[in-house]
A and B are shown apart, each in its own frame.
Chain A
Amino acid sequence: MRELMLGAVAYDAKVVPIWDGFRAWFSKRGLPFDYMLFTSYERQVDAHLRGDLDVAWNSPLAWLQAAALAAKHGRTARAIAMRDTDRDLASVILVRADSPIHALGDLRNKRVGVGAGDSPQATLIPLGALAEADVVVEPVRHDVLVGKHGDHIGGERIAVKALLAGEVDAACIIDGNRLAFANDGTLPAGATRVLHHTGAYDHCNMTVLDNAPAEPIAKLTELLLGMDYADPEVRPLLDMEGLIRWLPGRTSGYALLERAVKRFGTIDAWLAAR
């Protein structure tokens, strides 16, 4: 079987041990596998369309970019797998507990702290929700590692700190980070209220294009879906990557992001240039 090449974005140093670990685990099970790391999802999508990669571990925005770029060139993209933790996420808009803001409309013309400009969860989806409610706000971006599509949670943490410091009137973060920030002391219990809870959306997926090599892709999918958290060799990798089990890919969970990206023209110039 020919070697399968995966692309991943180096949003954190742990990306190397994760994929080194997966590489060794796949190789032992008969799948020759290697990976390339990219500094941004945009470079990864370009490489994928160029044919350098067989499969790309894509953010939700990168999935939309890959699908759009593929379509532009008469190609198709599909998702073969995703983490259990990639399904049915939600973002929240937080305000200070004592804030006079009690409805989305109260945020009109207010300063809203968001994450990096390309973060689906901390910027595009919550700002999309506000726009769909006809609430025009002043977004205050916290651009940490642009190109990583918000994979680095630093921007969300800064947005929350800005909210607590009174520098913004609201902050947008992913639901899981609300608990994470509460537990690490960033977000004192009772200091904030959840003003809005967005609809559910999906996060990353393993993207392949229509010309992907069938046999190794089938093998990769089989191996991913067969990974067992009870296996002590694979468990540390799953812990690092943040999942309990891999699920089949689905693309039904990207509608919220797609609407926001269309509304804001997020990828228009990028797509036009390709």
Chain B
Amino acid sequence: MAGGAVTIDLELGDLGLDEGAQLLIKRALASASEVRVRGTSPTLAVDLPAWCRARGHVFRDGVIARGAADRTPGAERAGSIERAVDDPPARWGLAARGALVEAGAPELELALSHKADVWADEAARLYAQAAAAQWDPATAVPWDAPVTHPPEVEDAIVQIMTYLIENETAALLVPVRFLGKLHPHFREVMQLLAIQAADEARHIEVFTRRAKLRRDELGLSTAGGQTSLATLFDEPDFAVASFLLAVLGEGSFLALLWFIRDHAPDVCTREVARLAAQDEARHVAFGLAHLARHAALDPGLLDRLAAAIERRHAALAHTSGLNELVFDALALLAAGSWGPADLRRGHAAVVALAAEMDAGRRARLARLGFAPDAAERLSSLHTRNFM
């Protein structure tokens, strides 16, 4: 025995190193510097020297002397499980928050690695809410409910669904593009963005399914609508994209979904709108929460956000705004018939919807810290496409 070395005996029985015996050996080596191994596995005499050699242990006369191979020098904790640090280093990579990270791991390109840019204390709570509120499209919507409204109203619903699907596609893809750049250390934000994407996937499913209930084809996707969404899709700044999509776009969309919930003639359409609105409210809440926190830490943020609205407004100035078919479809949906009195009511409801959207945007802009006159002006510049 070497000076100070502790030797213990390990009996492997007939368990071979190709059957898990290495676990017993490692366990023994964790508690003693030398382990005398006995066993009856027919390949033990071949496997033991080879196993020891590859791990830096010395094997002689049936005794393993523990080698010095240790992966932990230089390792560091990736923060703590519960609390995210302000600037997690790229070398923590994909490691779980709080894990002991071996030194020398590759550094990932993670553009969103500052807590100030992405964090909201509400993220964990919103994620938990979202996880608990996931609904099954197959059973949550009464797909067999009767449809008794006129065919033209059904056409209007299909046009609205067509519009909703393309907007929800943007709402899925825009956060996902940032999700891939987010430092996984911000676990709660990562989880929340992921479940938001799952929400949007379900919305796309139920809107598609609703459109197919009575029709084989979808409605029109306009160049103007897609141009508006493309300005979101191409936005490289997380705060700006989040502002345009969640605070302004999805915020306006909330009012739209409530409108459909309240005015749709059939229970199925009302229900898909109600379920989607529930989810969208969380998305808006997260956008507001992390931008409010970000704005408190970065006084220049509000100016950047305001400039982004103006830039987007200028970029979309040449487009036709809201798909007229969608506007008409919403009016007909609210009217429920071609009767002049009904149409007047439906038209008035859509005008009121636009006013409600504007009021909602101004309220959310104010929550972020914009003065009332700035909020009013910026809200008026928001895309006429709603999203």
- B: number of interface residues (CB 8 Å): 26
User: Would A232 and B103 count as touching, CB distance under 8 A?
Assistant: yes
Given contacts A175-B50, A229-B68, A235-B104, contact A244 B55 (CB under 8 A): yes
Tell me the dominant secondary structure on chain B's binding face. Answer: loop
- CB distance B46 to A197 under 8 Å? yes
Interface 9-mer from A52-60, A86-94, A142-150 = A86-94
Q: Whole-angstrom distance between the alpha carbons of A89 and B102 in the complex?
A: 30
Q: Distance (Å) between the CB of A150 and the closest chain B CB? A: 16
In the complex the two chains form, is B70's CB within 8 Å of A230's CB? yes
Residue A182 is within 8 A (CB to CB) of chain B in the complex: yes
A118 to B55: give the CA distance in the assembly, Å.
Answer: 27
* Chain B residues whose CB sits within 8 angstroms of the CB of A193 once the complex forms: 42
A27 CB within 8 Å of chain B: no
Listed residue (B17, B71, B104) with the most chain A CB atoms within 10 angstroms of its CB: B104
Cα distance A194–B102 when bound, in Å? Answer: 38
Closest CB-CB distance, A122 to chain B, in whole Å? 14
- Among A92, A233, A235, point to the contact of B46 (Cβ < 8 A): A92
In the assembled complex, the Cα of A85 lies from the Cα of B54 at a distance in Å of 6
How far is it, in angstroms, between the C-alpha of A87 and the C-alpha of B49 when the chains are bound?
A: 11
CB atoms of B46 and A175 under 8 A apart: yes
- Give the Cβ gap from B54 to chain A, nearest Cβ, in Å: 6
A179 at the interface (CB under 8 A from B): yes
| Residue among B16, B47, B70, B102 having the largest count of chain A Cβ atoms under 10 Å | B47
Q: Please give the residue numbers on chain A whose beta carbons come within 8 Å of chain B beta carbons, in ascending order.
A: 84-85, 87-90, 92, 174-176, 178-179, 182-183, 187, 189, 193-194, 197, 229-233, 235-236, 242, 244-245
| 9 additional A-B residue pairs with CB within 8 Å, beyond A189-B18, A244-B68 | A85-B53, A174-B50, A176-B50, A189-B16, A197-B45, A229-B56, A229-B70, A231-B74, A232-B104
- B19 close to A189 (CB less than 8 A): yes
- Give bound CA distance, A236 to B74, whole Å: 13
From residue A93, how far is it (CB to closest CB) to chain B in Å? Answer: 11
Q: Are B51 and A194 in contact (CB under 8 A)?
A: no
Least CB distance, A170 to chain B, in whole angstroms: 15
Known contacts being A90-B49, A178-B46, A194-B43, is A233 close to B104, with CB within 8 Å?
yes
